[in-house]
Amino acid sequence: MNKLGVHALVWEAGWSHEECARAIAKTAEVGYDFIEAPALDPSLIDPDFTRRQLEAAGIGINFSLGLDFDSDISSGDPEKRRRGQAKLEDAIRVCRDCGGQYIGGILYSAFGKYYEPPTADGIAQSAETLRTVAEIAARSDITLVLEVVNRYETNICNTAAQGVEMMKRVGAPNVKVHLDVYHMNIEESDIASAIIDTGEHIGYFHTGDSHRGYMGSGSIDLASVFRALVRANYQGPITFESFSSRVVGQPLEGILGIWRNLWDDGHDLASHALMYTKAQLKAAQEAERQARERSRLPG
Ligand code: MN
């Protein structure tokens, strides 16, 4: 069974005690299994406080982050790589202390617009650092999932196939691929085929729609996406990710280009996304049974 989560930015821009408590309570109230909290700066998270809120609400947590250009582990500058490794190690400690199991996002490069293509050396440096960091994560049973994002947010993993290649270059059992339908809609030739081809390597999944607003109100064929996830036998976490100018602060607002107000009521948005996701998953599972079990001649 897929655990269903919602990104904290549906509720709150930051992670102060008040924001953390509100975001966790609302996530539980709507009925999600976990919240995904941004850890762009892990030092802003109070793990003891967060863990107490999670325990009181009865939900789990996972984290996501992107490195910045000053902490880019694909950089030729060893100082930047050192800062990136330290940030990833900080995120692992925070995740462990909060009881999380996954850290996703752009862990392999800066999260932002590059003006040059990646280099073979840069990719090798990134894979080497991730291998070291993955060993540390493994001691706390944490899986690192490499998010494949569009060309304006990294120059390394823009397609699912590149994500699989990067994962293999890192070569650690607790490193998998993190797919996001919003990015796939920009970069893949065929979203469903890319999901099926990535198959057992998918470790984490982000849902949403083409404009990152209400699910089903954009242009992505989400029915085929959920059918592909079921066909790929994906059982891992699925987070609904949505951003509106209503709730977002810097640096995410600037990097992601969140200029428009796509919704006002996070509770309505998150409730709808949970219903929609459950309905899509159920329909996709029935479609799979229809194809495999219920299309036989008698006898
Ligand atoms: Mn995402």
From ligand 1's centre to the CA of 145, what distance in Å? 11
pLDDT of residue 259: 87
Cα-Cα end-to-end distance for the chain: 33
Determine which helix (DSSP H) or strand (DSSP E) holds 291, and give its type and residue range.
helix 266-292
pLDDT of residue 256: 86
The CATH code for residues 4-293 is 3.20.20.150
Backbone phi, psi, residue 118, to 5°: -70, 160
pLDDT of residue 294: 80
- Closest to 89 in 3D by CA, of 15, 38, 147, 139: 139
pLDDT of residue 244: 86
Helices (H), 61-190: 78-98, 120-138, 160-170, 181-187
**How much of the chain exceeds pLDDT 70, in percent?**
100
pLDDT reading at 245 higher than 90: no
From ligand 1's centre to the CA of 147, what distance in Å? 7
Q: Is 286 annotated as catalytic?
A: no
From ligand 1's centre to the CA of 125, what distance in Å? 24
Residue 78: cis peptide before it, omega within 30 degrees of 0 = no
Q: Which residues pair with 221 in a beta bridge?
A: none
Confidence of residue 112 (pLDDT cuts 50, 70, 90): very high
The length of the chain in residues reads 299
pLDDT reading at 298 higher than 90: no
Q: What is the pTM of this model?
A: 0.96
Query: In this structure, which amino acid lies at residue 4?
Result: L
Domain extents in the chain: 4-293
Angle between helix 191-198 and 222-231 (nearest 10): 20
Backbone phi, psi, residue 87, to 5°: -65, -40
Q: Which residues pair with 143 in a beta bridge?
A: 102
215-233 residue pLDDT tens: 999 999 999 999 999 999 9
Q: Is 147 annotated as catalytic?
A: yes
pLDDT of residue 145: 98
pLDDT of residue 55: 98
pLDDT of residue 61: 98
pLDDT reading at 137 higher than 90: yes
Contact 125, 168 (CB under 8 A): no
From ligand 1's centre to the CA of 238, what distance in Å? 10
From ligand 1's centre to the CA of 148, what distance in Å? 8
pLDDT of residue 246: 82
Helices (H), 155-265: 160-170, 181-187, 191-198, 222-231, 252-256
Q: What is the mean pLDDT of the segment spanning 110-124?
A: 97
Residues 6+ apart with CB under 8 A from 281: 2, 226, 229, 230
pLDDT of residue 149: 98
Q: Which CA distances in Å does 113 have to 54, 150, 185, 257?
A: 34, 10, 18, 11
pLDDT of residue 85: 98
Contact 8, 35 (CB under 8 A): yes
pLDDT of residue 250: 83
Q: What is the mean pLDDT of the segment spanning 249-263?
A: 85
Which candidate in 12, 36, 188, 241 is catalytic?
A: 241
Per-chain mean pLDDT for the chain:
96
Residues 6+ apart with CB under 8 A from 282: none
pLDDT reading at 247 higher than 90: no
From ligand 1's centre to the CA of 197, what distance in Å? 19
Which candidate in 12, 36, 147, 188 is catalytic?
A: 147
Give CA angle at 102 (166, 22), nearest 5°: 135
Confidence of residue 45 (pLDDT cuts 50, 70, 90): very high
Q: Both tokens of residue 228?
A: 């592909």
Helix (H/G/I), strand (E/B), else coil: 146: strand
From ligand 1's centre to the CA of 153, what distance in Å? 11
Q: How far apart are CA 23 and CA 213, in angstroms?
A: 18
160-202 residue pLDDT tens: 999 999 999 999 999 999 999 999 999 999 999 999 999 999 9
